[in-house]
Amino acid sequence: MSVSAPTRLEAISPIEATLTARRSRWARIRRFCGREMLGTFGLGIVIVMAIAGLSAEWIAPYNPTANDFAAMTEPPSWAHWLGTDQFGRDLLSRIIYGARTALIVGLSSAFVGGALGLVLGVGSAYFGGLIDMILQRFFDIMMAFPLIIMALAVVAIFGTGVHNVIIAITIPLVPRCARVVRSSALAIREVPYVDAARACGYSHARIILRHMVPNVVAPFLIMITAFVGQAILAEASLSYLGLGVQEPVPAWGLMLQGGAEEYASTAPWIAIFPGLAIMLAVLGINLFGDALRDELDPKLRNR
Amino acid sequence: MLTYVLKRILFVIPTLIGAAALVFLLMRLIPGDICVVRLASGGSNVDARALATCHAELGMDRPVFLQFIDFVWGFFRLDFGKSMWSGKPVTAEIMARLPISLEIAILATVVAISIAIPLGAISALKQNTWLDVAVRVFAIGGIATPSFWIGILSIMLVLDVTSAITGHPWMPPIGYVPIWKDPIRNLSMAFLPAITVGYRYAAVSMRMTRSAMLEVMREDYIRTARAKGLINKIIINRHALKNALLPVVTLIGIEFAFLIGGLVVTEQVFNLNGVGRLFVQAVQNQDYTLTQALVMLTVTVFVVTNLVVDLLYGWLDPRIRYA
Amino acid sequence: MVFKWFLAVGVAASLAVTNAWPGLAAETPKRGGELTYMIPADGGPSLDGHKEATYAVLHATAPFYSVLVRVNPDNPASTTDFVCDLCTEMPTPTDNGLTYTFKIRTGVKFHDGTPLTAHDVAASWRKIVSPPKGVSSARENNFVMVDRIEDPDDTTVIFRLKFATLSFMPALADPYSYIYSKAILDKDMHWYEKNVMGSGPFKFESYDIGQSVKGVRNPDYYHQGQPYLDGFTAIFAPKQSVRVDAIRSDRAALEFRGLPPSARDQLVKELGDKITVQESDWNCGNVLTPNNSRKPFDDVRVRKALFLAIDQWRGAAALQKIANVRTVGGIVFPGSPFAATKEELQQIPGFWPDIEKSRAEARRLLKEAGQENLSFEMLNRNVDQPYIIVGTWLVDEFSKIGVKVTQKIVPTGPWLEAMRAGDFSVALEANCQNIVNPIADTGRYLPHDRYSENFAYHNDPVQVALYDKMLRETDPAKARVLMREYERQTLDIGAHQMMVTWWYRIVPMRSYVKGWKISPSHYLNQDLANIWLDK
């Protein structure tokens, strides 16, 4: 309950109500920023990343996949702010376009994984019994199964490319989300009004959507933000092992593979900048996610 | 309680069989043939008769169903067969590489615990001060940074720094010797990967310690103790820390299980002849028997660790037992 | 007579392609010391050289064994200088080239003390040429010309051929052809897969799985004075940056395969004269293979257009700075007397010196074939040097004639599988041979039903006829003319496949390593007998 919400009992005009609500929303956001400086900082990084990804065509100085054999492994200079890689491609442009790849991979994996996890977790909790038992075992297997085999299988069968990396990364996220969602949903299931609703003849879908899902939204959202960060890191690891996105697509993880290590001593900027980009992006996302959790967690609210 | 334990143990079996079926299926779905990879000299030239001999030798011309039965039955008998790539028993291949992976995992855990618990506790106690913020950023840095990137940079740093100072660049030894034979050589090989892995491990544990401490500090009995006038230090050591440690310990246990499999990338970076690297090799060579055995090993460790942690939790915290 | 001609041209050619830094002039070798080197791979499968095909096995086991004949270790860059290891002198073929009679040295002993005779040589060669059921020989194909092998007494081995051919002697010098003990082979044909027992310059000491192989000097080695080293340690190190760092910090002296130009530049810059670099053309090349049986690549105009789009000359010049490639060449190893000269090469479309003219012609051909908006997926292997680098370059080249290409990069297993199943549009593959044997090596461009590892899936009776004629031609000058026609049929008239850059071998080593000379093949000259340490 927001402190500045109107407490007067008399009716208030619609205009006044809207203005108060808007004011209180702004006030809430301002308070959030003040309290959670780190979270705001994180959000700022995420916004910068999003802008870079969305407007890459306009702000990137060079074509990220154009080889320029006259300018191979050049150190940072006025022509190339972050230097060039071994093909002569501008690193700044590749990092800007890489933000787009990272966001696509991160957001897609997180949302698809989260959505599937939500459905499976809630369904598992709601229906219980045999379905729950089977799904639980399924989750166990998926969580224990090493990511690299899954990724290799996906790559070998479907080929490389952004879509297939997303598939490979999404798979381990589903059971993790489902587990958390399930335990939150289980708490609701025991509440009497669910049985009452069934007795009234409400359909499964309505009960699930109306009652169970809203209760799990908070931990779910927090988990999604964590997933985005994990997905970006997973893409980096997979690309490093050669199982992720492929040349010449600009992706931060891919930029750290191959050439980066080979030139680590002679052209360290090839290895340093993409790694920094990954670190900052995941840092920002995690800081924001932490702040979000702190904000939404009722126990910690009355500080 | 007994039924709970029995049920949990029983549930392990379908998980293992499911994992076995999954890895069996996945490996055979991947296009490619270990015999071709093994015999392909000069890029892609493979002798046809040699290929046929190889297939017969490895039993790859037997019906798939029989191969699966052999695999599962062998697993329960603890007979994992021979590696398709080298012909040596799978157990021998794994045992030759387990020591170094275990050593890194244990050293990383030591590093993690010795950093995480004190720093996490301090961060919780001095919440929202600059110290807390610094520790939190340090922790999130550990989670946000790709471990292989840290590895690459650290190797480069050590080489360049030693080169600048002594004129002779230093690099950890590339041949493994067990710690009892030559502890200095062994540790100089292990310290960089241990720190790299340990940083991330510490970061996760630090955050957990902090949030667990925070939660415990708000508990009523802590407030009561404070009201009673107990000194803060005693409160922390005797009550808060002990109770906060429960989720931390479980987290450390779970992360350790992840660690063994997660060493894949680290071992690539530091060129360690460990289980993670064996994993990558086995998968890329399409060595079915070895990959299957390794996956089952990873899954079993994971499942058993989870089981132990669950049971421990249930035993230590009576509230959960009756859920 | 034939071989003298070869020798002359071969020596001249080898001097032209090898760039060895000064310091390799003859010095007196010092005895003693241990050599530590790296093998750029994970441990190989078995230890049996006959069975395996990966250089990891060769680099780990060659020091323990002897062979019958080999490329001259003091002149390994030559493609024609073969010398005896276990034989007493190089034979001249009799019976119109159908019979080769070898006399075997006396007094050679295996490491377990038993004597080595012609019977051991014959038994080992029979295992290679016609293995019994259940035993596999990875290069059986190379010896189809051999009819039978006879060992009438303790010092004579006779090879009888089905037909005379210039490709027999190079095939015989295959570095994997270890001589095993007949007594052991008679008991167990698979013994050598897990054990080592040879007659070579070093005795087997230990093998740590996936880690290292160690050997010590064989005091009874039959080449007097050798080996100079007391022993060696070979460490498996699949990661390139680790190998470079190891050489930099002297954890190991060198690796015998080859490092990329960036590594060479870095080591030279940092270590100056503590590093010696040897370079050579490599008997390996990338081949661009369109699937001739899949639309639209069944149209010769489309294939030709792709080949014309590639700027071989400028591309090679740029790529050699970042990848292990250098020389533009046709289907024959550039250092061989059978290779095309630059003038001959520039006649072939795809090698024209004027790239604008080539690309204009490419666009014209595409338009004529109705394929102006061509786009496809190119299959490639997920190895950085040089596959991915060459692939990335090719994608850019194709874009210059308006063809959009994406790469499908997969690990080795699926890459081989897709090609063997014909499940691709265009593939980038590689062609590496153990030893330079131009006539045998170029057989791989024959249609699939003749050479099962050709993945172009084409049909070309003219090409086959030309090759068969060349295979049986015993006059090298005439064979060379036939080779030019065969090359033209493969690359130009039929346009089935195209060479894109021959690889370049760069081996930096610590300067105290002496005696080893580079060759076009990373399989040659690996028994370490002539290496000594100047420490």
pLDDT confidence tier of residue B220, bands split at 50, 70 and 90: low
- Nearest CB among C251, C413, C416 relative to B171 is that of C251
Mean pLDDT of chain C: 88
Which of these ranges, B151-155, B239-243, C136-140, has the smallest mean pLDDT? Answer: B239-243
CB atoms within 10 A of CB A281: 26
Contact B152 A141 (CB under 8 A): no
Under 8 Å between Cβ of C256 and C59: yes
Which of these ranges, A131-140, B61-70, C19-28, C296-305, has the smallest mean pLDDT? Answer: C19-28
Spatial CA neighbour of C518 closest among C281, C338, C267, C232: C281
Contact A156 C393 (CB under 8 A): no
CA neighbours closer than 13 Å in the CB half-sphere of residue C266: 25
Q: Tell me whether C485 touches chain A (CB under 8 Å).
A: no
Rounded to an integer, what distance in angstroms lies between the CA atom of residue A205 and that of residue A211? 10
Interface A-B, measured as beta-carbon pairs within 8 A, has a size of 133
pLDDT confidence tier of residue A22, bands split at 50, 70 and 90: low
Nearest CA distance, B223 vs chain C (angstrom): 56
Strands C404-410 and C532-533: unpaired
Does residue A168 have a pLDDT over 90? no
**Average pLDDT of span B153-178:** 85
Under 8 Å between Cβ of C370 and C301: no
Question: How much of chain C, in percent, has pLDDT values that exceed 70?
Answer: 95
Rounded to an integer, what distance in angstroms lies between the CA atom of residue B114 and that of residue C15? 62
Given CA atoms C203, C205, C208, C214 in this order, what sign does their dihedral have? negative
Q: Tell me whether C423 touches chain A (CB under 8 Å).
A: no
Nearest CA distance, A210 vs chain C (angstrom): 46
Residues with Cβ within 8 Å of B8's Cβ and at least 6 positions away in sequence, in order, are B307, B310, B311
**Average pLDDT of span A175-187:** 80
Top pLDDT among C234 and B223 is at C234
- Nearest CB among A156, A258, A264 relative to C388 is that of A258
**Average pLDDT of span C392-420:** 87
Q: What's the pTM?
A: 0.83
Which of these ranges, B308-317, C13-22, C47-56, has the smallest mean pLDDT? Answer: C13-22
Does residue C13 have a pLDDT over 70? no
Mean pLDDT of chain A: 79
Does residue C156 have a pLDDT over 60? yes
Rounded to an integer, what distance in angstroms lies between the CA atom of residue C229 and that of residue C218? 10
Six token digits for residue A300: 């910690």
pLDDT confidence tier of residue A21, bands split at 50, 70 and 90: low
- In this predicted model, what pLDDT tens digit does every residue of B177-214 receive, in sequence order? 888 888 888 888 888 999 888 888 888 888 878 877 77
Residues with Cβ within 8 Å of A266's Cβ and at least 6 positions away in sequence, in order, are A73, C262, C265, C266, C269
DSSP-based three-state secondary structure for C458: coil
Under 8 Å between Cβ of B156 and B148: no
Contact B145 A140 (CB under 8 A): no
Residue C73 Cα distances to C70, C76, C85, C255, C505, angstroms: 8, 5, 10, 17, 17
Nearest CA distance, B168 vs chain A (angstrom): 15
Chain B residues 191-230 within an 8 A CB cutoff of chain C: none
Strands (E), C393-437: 404-410, 426-432
pLDDT confidence tier of residue C17, bands split at 50, 70 and 90: very low
Amino acid in the structure at residue A217? V
* Chosen from B44, B97, B165, B189 to mutate, greatest number of chain C CBs within 10 A: B44
Does residue C331 have a pLDDT over 70? yes
Rounded to an integer, what distance in angstroms lies between the CA atom of residue C461 and that of residue C463? 5
Contact C384 A67 (CB under 8 A): no
CB atoms within 10 A of CB B145: 24
Spatial CA neighbour of A248 closest among A99, A96, A94: A94
Q: Which residue of B has its CA nearest to C44?
A: B86
pLDDT confidence tier of residue C8, bands split at 50, 70 and 90: very low
Contact A156 C413 (CB under 8 A): yes
Six token digits for residue C89: 């002198």
Alpha-carbon Rg for chain C, nearest whole angstrom, is 23
Rounded to an integer, what distance in angstroms lies between the CA atom of residue C396 and that of residue C383? 19
Six token digits for residue C447: 């249609």
* Chosen from C136, C140, C451 to mutate, greatest number of chain B CBs within 10 A: C136
CB atoms within 10 A of CB C130: 15
- Nearest CB among C212, C242, C416 relative to B37 is that of C416
The torsion region of residue C113 among left (phi > 0), alpha (psi -120 to 50) and beta comes to left
DSSP C26-73: --PPPP--EEEEEESSSPPS-S-TTT---HHHHHHHGGG---SEEE-T
Q: Give residue C22's pLDDT.
A: 43
Rounded to an integer, what distance in angstroms lies between the CA atom of residue B142 and that of residue A282? 10
Chain B residues 6-45 within an 8 A CB cutoff of chain C: 30-34, 36-45
Mean pLDDT of chain B: 81
Nearest CA distance, B209 vs chain C (angstrom): 37
pLDDT confidence tier of residue C303, bands split at 50, 70 and 90: very high
Q: Give residue A64's pLDDT.
A: 83
Top pLDDT among C232 and B280 is at C232
- In this predicted model, what pLDDT tens digit does every residue of A46-67 receive, in sequence order? 899 889 888 888 888 888 887 7
Contact C263 A262 (CB under 8 A): yes
Does residue A73 have a pLDDT over 70? yes
Chain B residues 247-306 within an 8 A CB cutoff of chain A: 261, 264-265, 268, 279-280, 283-284, 291, 295, 298-299, 302-303, 306
Rounded to an integer, what distance in angstroms lies between the CA atom of residue A169 and that of residue A165? 6
pLDDT confidence tier of residue B315, bands split at 50, 70 and 90: low
Spatial CA neighbour of B143 closest among B192, B207, B191, B214: B207
Six token digits for residue C382: 């997920």
Contact C265 A266 (CB under 8 A): yes
Does residue A180 have a pLDDT over 90? no
Under 8 Å between Cβ of C264 and C518: no
- In this predicted model, what pLDDT tens digit does every residue of C100-155 receive, in sequence order? 999 999 999 999 999 999 999 999 999 999 998 888 888 887 888 899 999 999 99
Residues with Cβ within 8 Å of A33's Cβ and at least 6 positions away in sequence, in order, are A40
Nearest CA distance, B196 vs chain A (angstrom): 15
> B322: exposed, middle or buried (C-beta count within 10 Å: 0-12, 13-18, 19+)?
exposed
Chain B residues 62-91 within an 8 A CB cutoff of chain C: 85-88
DSSP-based three-state secondary structure for C468: helix
